[in-house]
Structure 1
Amino acid sequence: MVTLAEVARHAGVSASTVSYVLSGKRSISATTRLRVQQSIHELGYHPNAGARALASNRSNVIALMIPLRTDMYVPVMMEIAVAVATTARTHGYDVLLLTGEEGPDAVRRVVGSGLADAMILMDVELDDERLPLLREAAQPSVLIGLPADTSGLTCVDLDFKATGALCVEHLAGLGHRDIAVIGEAPAVYERHTGFAERTLDGLRSRARELDVRMLHRPCGGGYDATAGTLARILDERPGTTGFVVQNEQAVEPLLALLRQQGRAVPEDVSVLAVCPDQVAVQASVRLTSVSIPAQEMGRRAVERLVAKLDGSGADDVMLIAPELKVRASTGPAPSATA
């Protein structure tokens, strides 16, 4: 294993100079800094994490709080987590993954133990119990999600309200006047999870503005739950011609059930999903969709957190504009072509 002293000899400087280059605690000339960095690269030197933490009073670790619940679509959560981890490494940080449903206790543990220099929180609720602790904590934090009150917080998220509105606009533009929304599992709404509530707000608001009748029904994952939800929708609104699905686990069951009932997509009914592109393009009918920009959300969250750690970041809310991609699952409403 290469030592700091060997780097110093290779670069022709003192060991303290190498240490100052690594820590940034003293100003070093650009020429000397470059020479030391070249020696570090050529020799493959990796600073001892413990020593570096003691010297800088930093752990160089970011805590990512990502409760893995059975009612959430885990692949999207993990795609965000991978983006966080890879982006953090480019900035010299490792990621501590906290997957338990500990709520405020997890924040207290990170704050009290010095496990991490900063925190990224996911699965954000409108009135999230973790927020008061974040506002008081010395460690910087970023939310991937949007609570009801964003004061004193930094947030990154897809603009889910605009997403809901965009879905209604697309179907209404095709002549659909009766739209049903197959939503997330009931527990997601019971927790008032931000992304689900905001999508629903956008759907309802735009439906009222465009004089579109809209019915929303939560749906558990899997075929049986989707079958029950679809039967309820068609019993209550038999004239439904457009579906918005915000539940990845209901996408393929819904398409299968519509085929079994002899309802062709998109000739008889249109289906639009809020889901990752991979889910949309691999479905049995290529779905018109608003994609979940998981990688962008993870990357931007880390960039904002690093800026705060460097003293250049400020509390702000960054909403990513939704993008709707038209594929094979949406078309004119039957009445519009009659």
Structure 2
Amino acid sequence: MATTARLHGYDVLLLTGEEGPDAMILMDVELQDERLPLLRETDQPSALIGLPADTAGLTCVDLDWSATGALCVEQLAGLGHRDITVIGEAPAVYERHTGFAERTLDGVRSRARETGVRVLHRPCEGGYDAMALTLARIFDERPATTGFVVQNESAVEPLLALLRQQGRAVPEDVSVVAICPDQVAAQASVRLTSVAIPAQEMGRYAVEHLVAKLDGRGGDEVVLLAPELTVRASSGPAPAAS
């Protein structure tokens, strides 16, 4: 965001007090975000990186998270996996009804119904201990699980380590698809099939729309970026049923 803003002659200010900016970018947007009524009342141009339930009168840019969830299911279902678990963000993220997490889950469930895949969703705090408890619970509830969709960067390496310890080879026994930055996917202990999070592109779009508003050229609009899945080493055909 800062780079794009500087190209247009603006600075980026992180607000921690009562400073008055020329324009505002809101992040970590919830479906029913309490900041939005005030945002709609102000004359200052604004943009959201995220998508609330009601986008009227707002400029929003986000990854199409519903399509992202659907794409992950398509990848695993196409490889023959019929029992998939989504390892999600920490429970508090869902309790706040944060847009990206809710929409990803909606996309997963919708495409799972269409493809006949069974889906289990388990939030996870991340880290080794939390992931160990979550994984044990998953295999207790769904011992036939052969596919994982991971939307929690801090759970990626603990999950891969725990699967190795349990003698579950990736991707021969279990496939993993992550929603994470490309760098995280490429540097994981098993290179992860993943949908990238285009953070720089979202920031650039938000700043460019704000600059257009400041120059009197732009109106409110919603921009959803299409997800892109990169196949790497962590996804393969579902193992044959024994």
Using structure 2 for the length normalisation, give the TM-score.
0.98
Task: Confirm whether residue 272 of structure 1 aligns to residue 189 of structure 2.
Answer: no
Gaps of 5+ in 1: 1-83, 101-105
CA displacement, residues 44-98 of structure 1 (integer Å, 9 cap, x when unaligned): xxxxxxxxxxxxxxxxxxxxxxxxxxxxxxxxxxxxxxxx111111111111113
Which position in structure 1 is the counterpart of 2:160?
A: 255
Q: CA separation in 1, counterparts of 2:153 and 2:125?
A: 10
Moved over 2 A (4+): none
Residue 154 of structure 2: SS of its match in structure 1? helix
Gaps of 5+ in 2: none
1:71-110 counterparts in 2 under 5 A?
84-98=1-15, 109=18
Residue 221 of structure 1: SS of its match in structure 2? coil
Q: CA separation in 2, counterparts of 1:155 and 1:139?
A: 15
Shift of 1:296: 0.4
Q: CA separation in 2, counterparts of 1:305 and 1:335?
A: 53
Task: Confirm whether residue 332 of structure 1 aligns to residue 230 of structure 2.
Answer: no
CA displacement, residues 87-143 of structure 1 (integer Å, 9 cap, x when unaligned): 111111111113x6xxxxx7xx45xxxx21100000000000000111111001000
CA displacement, residues 144-170 of structure 1 (integer Å, 9 cap, x when unaligned): 000000000000000000000000001
Using structure 1 for the length normalisation, give the TM-score.
0.70
Which position in structure 1 is the counterpart of 2:186?
A: 281
Shift of 1:221: 1.8
Task: Confirm whether residue 196 of structure 1 aligns to residue 113 of structure 2.
Answer: no
Q: CA separation in 2, counterparts of 1:137 and 1:161?
A: 30
Q: CA separation in 1, counterparts of 2:24 and 2:9?
A: 15
Which position in structure 1 is the counterpart of 2:41?
A: 136
Residue 214 of structure 1: SS of its match in structure 2? strand
Q: Return the index of the structure with the highest Cα Rg.
A: 1
Q: CA separation in 2, counterparts of 1:196 and 1:305?
A: 25
What is the percent sequence identity of the aligned residues?
83
Aligned pair count reads 242
Residue 335 of structure 1: SS of its match in structure 2? coil
Task: Confirm whether residue 300 of structure 1 aligns to residue 205 of structure 2.
Answer: yes
Task: Confirm whether residue 229 of structure 1 aligns to residue 138 of structure 2.
Answer: no
Q: CA separation in 2, counterparts of 1:272 and 1:241?
A: 11
Which position in structure 2 is the counterpart of 1:46?
A: none
